[in-house]
């Protein structure tokens, strides 16, 4: 008898695919994400702005250090005397740059010998990136204290208006040597004209405050606010608050008119 066996049934494996479904963001979730991003931006953007301004302030301080070194090199070559061109406007940066140009390692030249404000270009060494007005002053930001090239008797009677008049020296300009500076670590030689890093008003102001032709170049009420980088006669440079500077002959924080000239001091 034959054993009849049924054919084995083949096991058929049925594969199933698993599908997963993700739901989209709800409106509330999206608004929460946007709110978190806005909060982070509000926290971080001021930090970034402060860091950027701190970097600009450091650049300005470095510029002053290099210009101060150029002044020292100049004095070494001129019998220890600081620059004196017999111009009452030498304190303005765009005039100061010419006598010390050989020591700055930049190639600026006067395009018009009769006009010291005319140059063949600009150098980042001579202006501060925080100074909003440097283009108005031929890309210069730093002032040279007039105490280093004016007689002490002249300084005692000079006004802010006299400093900008451009009148001839008539014997009031003189060469000053480093040995005449009695307090080199307290006498400012170079400084930023505007307090472009820290100020309380809507715009930076100089050491005369809101002085202008409308009030006869009289010192303004905000002269003692703000702060600026300064380089001293001994070569060091630092950030100086206007309120810490001793009053000038015009009762302003202006190193141009330091009481007793280079024999005096700007910081106590």
Place of tokens 């301004």: 53
Residue 212, pLDDT score: 56
Q: Could you tell me if 63 and 55 are in contact, meaning their C-beta atoms sit under 8 angstroms apart?
A: no
Distance CA 201, CA 198 (A): 9
DSSP state for residue 180 in the 8-state scheme: G
**pLDDT: which is higher, 251 or 2:** 251
Q: Is the pLDDT of residue 2 over 90?
A: no
DSSP bridge partners of 191: 143, 230
Q: Is the pLDDT of residue 1 over 50?
A: no
Residue 245, pLDDT score: 96
Distance CA 167, CA 185 (A): 31
Residue 268, pLDDT score: 95
pTM metric for this prediction:
0.80
Using alpha carbons, select from 74, 258, 100 the residue that is nearest to residue 178: 74
DSSP 67-78: HHHHHHHHHHHT
Instruction: Give the three-state DSSP class for 230.
Output: strand
C-alpha pair distances (Å), 223 with each of 89, 189, 208, 252: 21, 19, 5, 6
Q: How many CB atoms lie within 10 A of CB 110?
A: 15
Using alpha carbons, select from 101, 203, 11, 215 the residue that is nearest to residue 110: 101
pLDDT digits (tens, 9 = 90+) for 92-141: 999 999 999 999 988 888 887 777 787 888 888 999 998 888 888 889 99
pLDDT digits (tens, 9 = 90+) for 218-254: 777 788 888 999 999 999 999 999 999 999 999 999 9
Distance CA 236, CA 24 (A): 62
Residue 113, pLDDT score: 73
pLDDT digits (tens, 9 = 90+) for 23-64: 666 877 778 788 888 888 777 767 666 767 778 899 999 999
pLDDT digits (tens, 9 = 90+) for 134-183: 888 889 999 999 999 999 999 999 988 889 888 899 999 999 999 999 99
Token pair recorded at residue 100: 């010390």
Token pair recorded at residue 235: 């070569």
Token pair recorded at residue 32: 């929460």
φ, ψ of residue 141 in degrees (nearest 5): -130, -10
Confidence class for position 21, pLDDT limits 50, 70, 90? low
């Amino acid at each position: 008898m034959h054993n009849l066996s049924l054919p084995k049934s083949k096991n058929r494996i049925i594969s199933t695919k698993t599908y997963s479904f993700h739901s989209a963001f709800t409106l509330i979730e999206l608004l929460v994400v946007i709110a978190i991003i806005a909060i982070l931006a509000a926290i971080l953007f001021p930090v970034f702005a402060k860091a950027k301004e701190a970097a600009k302030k450091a650049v300005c301080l470095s510029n002053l250090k290099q210009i101060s070194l150029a002044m020292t090199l100049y004095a070494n070559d001129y019998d220890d005397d600081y620059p004196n061109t017999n111009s009452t406007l030498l304190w303005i940066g765009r005039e100061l740059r010419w006598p010390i140009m050989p020591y700055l390692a930049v190639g600026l030249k006067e395009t018009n010998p009769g006009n010291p404000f005319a140059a063949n270009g600009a150098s980042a060494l001579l202006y501060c990136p925080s100074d909003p007005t440097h283009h108005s002053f031929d890309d210069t930001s730093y002032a040279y204290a007039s105490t280093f090239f004016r007689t002490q008797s002249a300084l005692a009677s000079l006004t802010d208006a006299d400093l900008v008049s451009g009148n001839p020296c008539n014997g009031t300009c003189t060469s000053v040597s480093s040995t005449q500076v009695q307090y080199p670590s307290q006498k400012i030689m170079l400084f930023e004209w505007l307090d472009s890093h820290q100020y309380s008003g809507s715009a930076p102001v100089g050491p005369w405050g809101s002085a202008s032709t409308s009030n006869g170049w009289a010192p303004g009420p905000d002269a003692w606010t703000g702060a600026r980088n300064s380089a001293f006669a001994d070569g060091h440079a630092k950030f100086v608050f206007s309120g810490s500077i001793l009053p000038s002959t015009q009762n302003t924080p202006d190193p141009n008119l330091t009481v007793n000239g280079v024999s005096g001091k700007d910081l106590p």
